[in-house]
Structure 1
Amino acid sequence: MIKIVGLGPGAIDALTLGGLRALKNCQKVYLRTEKHPTVEYLKEEGISFETYDYVYEKADSFDEVYQTIATNLIEKIDLNSTMVYAVPGHPLVAEKSVFNLIKLCEQKGIEYEVLPAVSFIDAIMERLKIDPVEGIKVIDAFDMNHQVLDKRIGTIVTQVYNPFIASEVKLKLQEYYNDDTEIYFVRAAGIKGLESIRKIPLYELDMQEDIDYLTSVYIPKDLNNKKDFYDLINIIETLRGEDGCPWDREQTHESLKKALVEESYEVLDAIENEDDAALIEELGDVLLQVVFHGSIGKEDGYFDIGDIIEGICNKMIERHPHVFGEGVAKTSGEVVVKWEEIKKKEKGFVTVTEELEGIAKNLPALMRAAKVQSKAKKVGFDWDRVEEAMKKVEEELQEIREVYNGENKVRIVEEVGDLLFACVNVARFLDVEGELALNATSDKFIRRFSYIEKEAEKKGIQLTEMTLEEMDKLWNCAKNAEKK
């Protein structure tokens, strides 16, 4: 049998009678580390022990240390006698070696007993007057990258062993909190003569000179800190609430359609302009639209932002079996093929026509046309060469010539549409995004027209007073200037 004993946070008075009795009555005592204030008292009491400090020097990681300790203890267990494994604090608080040991004991049918103790968490709560009922989160400094922090509850970060770890903790905290957030630096809580608790700004955390294995950090609850996703949700729900904004309360999924399209295009503008500040703002506007629709869905009782997030998470996992499952995809091309196969199965598409009809009708017309053509190409319905696609453009232009003077407006619209569709085909063959190409041409037109207007202004002439020939001459001048 093995008894797992907690040595408390470091003060002698924090040792439990049960823990002390187990230590005194057992011949085989093993400590995870001798680096603990209570250990001197154990020596004074004549308790002999062995430690696992040597494992820290040999192992490459803390995970390896804790697993090695647990495995070694199992090897030393004598089923006919009792041994003790003692750790700092409470055995079940931030003690991975203990959990590894318990797992092995249960796998091998070895009897064990955990003797509770005062935890360093208890000492910190007592010294800082923290009521855990109001919410508290305890995080291991070595597990920071796997944690989601929340300013709405107090947070204790344990095992801030040295300045390097403190620096890593600081960087992670700065993702969620302002740099000047007041935090508590806690060293040796509850241990007389060693204890040091002080308020410091977050940015000074790794500058403290007394950081050691007894160091922890406490970040108090602070609702006014950095804004996060839940603040945005609360803002929208407040705006749509009884005492909120009349305009926001009136919005519906239908009324917001145009705004979502406009905000998306403003994101594209920011990307084109390589303007990071604008990109932050415009992406925020798009996120606002998503949360807005989530809030409306919640009020209607059909869905909420959680359903939206769960849906996209599930979709990304299901469509990436080569990452989250057993699928294989070594190139981006293979990924696209797999994506389309999974999407087709999800949507229940059986025919190619169903796939074509499944392309969003509210996409920009050039983009939708390109997607339709690409889908058709997959089953071989496409030109073999770009020259054939160009010839089709000429044919469609000729058909416009045949009908443009007529009175059949429907036929004219149809033929113009055919011409544009044929032009998209040429662009697709040349691997050109029609939408981007047309936007670039519109920008070029504006530049050249601006040249005409400025030249006319220099001459004191209004554009309305100029002939087309005069403007066309200036247009060619602008064209030549661009080429130079």
Structure 2
Amino acid sequence: MVTVVGLGCGREDISDGARKALLSGGKVILRTGETPAAQGVKDLGVEFSTLDYIYGISRNFDTLNKKLASAVLEEAKERDVIYCVDGSVSEDVSAQMVMRRAKNVKVYGGVSKADSAFAAAKIFSRNRMSVSAYGWGDIRPSLPLAVYDLDCDLVAGDIKLRLCELFGDEAECYYVHGGKAKKIRLFEADRQKEYDSTSVLVMDEIPLLKRTRFNYDDLVKILNLLRAPNGCPWDRAQTHESIRQNMIEEAYELVDAIDSKDDSKVLEETGDVLMQGAFHSVLGQERGAFSADDVLSAVCSKLIYRHSHIFGKDKATDEASALSVWDKNKQAEKGQKTGSESVCDVPKVLPAVMRAQKVAKRAAKYGYDFKDV
């Protein structure tokens, strides 16, 4: 039997159920004995061991968590074990590994590090997100946000850089340490006097007009506001057809920016092209035809399907073979079985010379290559 206990954030946080489990006579193992929460176990006067030694023999935190879980499960082969972790059980990766692998498990969740930090910062929104500083991965965080396990300035610096990229250097946040919250700017996150297991960085929602960094959802939201009854008269009047020319012009302006090798212009014109696509998504949503999520899902599905040499079983060793795989999958996707179907699929609105080149290129793949003409 393995009992997993979340000790919370301080010596007072152990629940009655967890206290009874700790006093039940099983082998008590603390992930670490170096935190305020561990003091709560010491106050009970029970014998315990810690796994602090594993930190020094682990290359990274993935290895650490695996070794911690293995040590607990190995001990559980001989006797009942009570495994104690800081904060909530849901915030500890090693605890989750133990729960997945053990056959007989009981859990006492514990007070969450993130919830305690949100309370200290007086942020009470329901739609909150929390993540360990050591478990960031590829996630894109949303606000309100709590980043816990901010136990040294190096980790705080890494988190600061990630968050500044998303929300801007001057964004307001709270540094929570020892249960007390201090308002700071995001660029100050790695400049605090002290860091330990209780350190958490908390950010509240940022009103749209106070943001300096935005994402695609913000773009769609702005366009929806412009299209609202009290929005911009020009934007409200537009249709797919009325802004058709705009897309062509923006595309040419992007091409011109690329040719000029001016990154600032490429950045601006890429944004304008993206905005045109988002505008059509909003128009489609209003008609009930498709949404921005539908558009993104379609293009992502297309990229995965047509790159079957990356995501599937096809092989491609060079640029030409990769393009061949793409074309094969594109035809299958569109249900094209003949060369004429492929040629006839070339858009009729292309400029004459460009359309002739594209038609000739597709026809050449089926043996109609008139190089001497």
Please confirm whether the aligned pair reaches a TM-score higher than 0.5, indicating the same fold. Answer: yes
Identity of aligned residues (%): 33
- 90, 95, 100: which one aligns with 1:98: 95
Q: Is the 8 A contact 2:314 2:325 kept in 1?
A: no
What whole-Å deviation, never above 9, does each CA across 1:84-108 have from its counterpart, x for those lacking one? 111112222x100111011111xxx
Q: Is the 8 A contact 1:145 1:172 kept in 2?
A: no
Alpha-carbon offset, residue 266 of structure 1: 0.1
What is residue 6 of structure 2 aligned with on the other side?
Answer: 6
- 340, 345, 361: which one aligns with 1:374: 361
- 264, 269, 274: which one aligns with 2:261: 274
Structure 1 residues 3 and 253: alpha-carbon distance in aligned structure 2, compared to 1, 3 A threshold: same
Pairing 1:201-212 to 2, within 5 Å after superposition: 201-212=185-196
Structure 1 residues 122 and 286: alpha-carbon distance in aligned structure 2, compared to 1, 3 A threshold: closer
Q: What letter matches 1:248 in structure 2?
A: D
Alpha-carbon offset, residue 214 of structure 1: 2.2
What is residue 428 of structure 1 aligned with on the other side?
Answer: none
Structure 1 residues 144 and 43: alpha-carbon distance in aligned structure 2, compared to 1, 3 A threshold: closer
Alpha-carbon offset, residue 44 of structure 1: 4.8
The 2-side partners of 1:277 and 1:334 are apart by 34
What is residue 179 of structure 1 aligned with on the other side?
Answer: 169
Alpha-carbon offset, residue 156 of structure 1: 0.3
Residues 1:124 and 2:117 aligned together: yes
Aligned with 1:218: secondary structure? strand
Structure 1 residues 322 and 160: alpha-carbon distance in aligned structure 2, compared to 1, 3 A threshold: farther
- 143, 146, 150: which one aligns with 2:135: 143
Aligned with 1:302: secondary structure? coil
Q: What letter matches 1:159 in structure 2?
A: D
Q: What letter matches 2:129 in structure 1?
A: K
- 209, 212, 224: which one aligns with 1:237: 224
Q: Is the 8 A contact 2:30 2:38 kept in 1?
A: no
What is residue 451 of structure 1 aligned with on the other side?
Answer: none
Aligned with 1:207: secondary structure? coil
Structure 1 residues 322 and 188: alpha-carbon distance in aligned structure 2, compared to 1, 3 A threshold: farther
**Bigger mean CA deviation after superposition, 203-212 or 243-252:** 243-252
Q: Is the 8 A contact 1:26 1:84 kept in 2?
A: no
What is residue 67 of structure 1 aligned with on the other side?
Answer: 66
Alpha-carbon offset, residue 161 of structure 1: 2.1
TM-score (norm 2): 0.93
The 1-side partners of 2:56 and 2:355 are apart by 62
The 1-side partners of 2:356 and 2:84 are apart by 71
The 1-side partners of 2:32 and 2:107 are apart by 18
Residues 1:166 and 2:166 aligned together: no
Q: Is the 8 A contact 2:172 2:183 kept in 1?
A: yes
The 2-side partners of 1:370 and 1:289 are apart by 26
Alpha-carbon offset, residue 27 of structure 1: 4.1
What is residue 84 of structure 2 aligned with on the other side?
Answer: 86
Q: Is the 8 A contact 1:26 1:83 kept in 2?
A: no
What is residue 32 of structure 2 aligned with on the other side?
Answer: 33
The 2-side partners of 1:41 and 1:318 are apart by 54
Q: What letter matches 2:203 in structure 1?
A: I
What is residue 16 of structure 2 aligned with on the other side?
Answer: 17
Pairing 1:242-391 to 2, within 5 Å after superposition: 242-383=229-370, 389=372
What is residue 48 of structure 2 aligned with on the other side?
Answer: 49
Aligned with 2:197: secondary structure? coil
Pairing 1:422-461 to 2, within 5 Å after superposition: none
The 2-side partners of 1:27 and 1:144 are apart by 34
Q: What letter matches 1:56 in structure 2?
A: Y
Structure 1 residues 44 and 246: alpha-carbon distance in aligned structure 2, compared to 1, 3 A threshold: closer
The 2-side partners of 1:329 and 1:101 are apart by 42
- 88, 110, 115: which one aligns with 2:108: 115
What is residue 215 of structure 1 aligned with on the other side?
Answer: 199
Q: What letter matches 1:205 in structure 2?
A: A
What whole-Å deviation, never above 9, does each CA across 1:1-53 have from its counterpart, x for those lacking one? 1111121202x221222222222232411111112124345335432212111
What whole-Å deviation, never above 9, does each CA across 1:198-236 have from its counterpart, x for those lacking one? 111111111223122321100111122233322321222
Aligned with 1:146: secondary structure? coil
Structure 1 residues 40 and 300: alpha-carbon distance in aligned structure 2, compared to 1, 3 A threshold: closer
Pairing 1:184-203 to 2, within 5 Å after superposition: 184-189=174-179, 196-203=180-187
The 1-side partners of 2:47 and 2:74 are apart by 20
Q: Is the 8 A contact 2:72 2:81 kept in 1?
A: no
Aligned with 1:142: secondary structure? coil
Structure 1 residues 43 and 292: alpha-carbon distance in aligned structure 2, compared to 1, 3 A threshold: closer
The 1-side partners of 2:43 and 2:219 are apart by 58
Aligned with 2:366: secondary structure? coil
Q: Is the 8 A contact 2:13 2:40 kept in 1?
A: no
Q: Is the 8 A contact 2:123 2:204 kept in 1?
A: no
Q: Which one has the largest radius of gyration?
A: 1
Structure 1 residues 302 and 100: alpha-carbon distance in aligned structure 2, compared to 1, 3 A threshold: same
For this pair of structures, how many residues does the alignment match?
370
**Bigger mean CA deviation after superposition, 202-211 or 372-381:** 372-381
The 1-side partners of 2:24 and 2:65 are apart by 26
Q: Which has the higher contact order (CA 8 A, sep 6+)?
A: 2
The 1-side partners of 2:28 and 2:206 are apart by 44
Structure 1 residues 293 and 44: alpha-carbon distance in aligned structure 2, compared to 1, 3 A threshold: closer
| Off by >4 Å, runs of 4+ in structure 1 | none
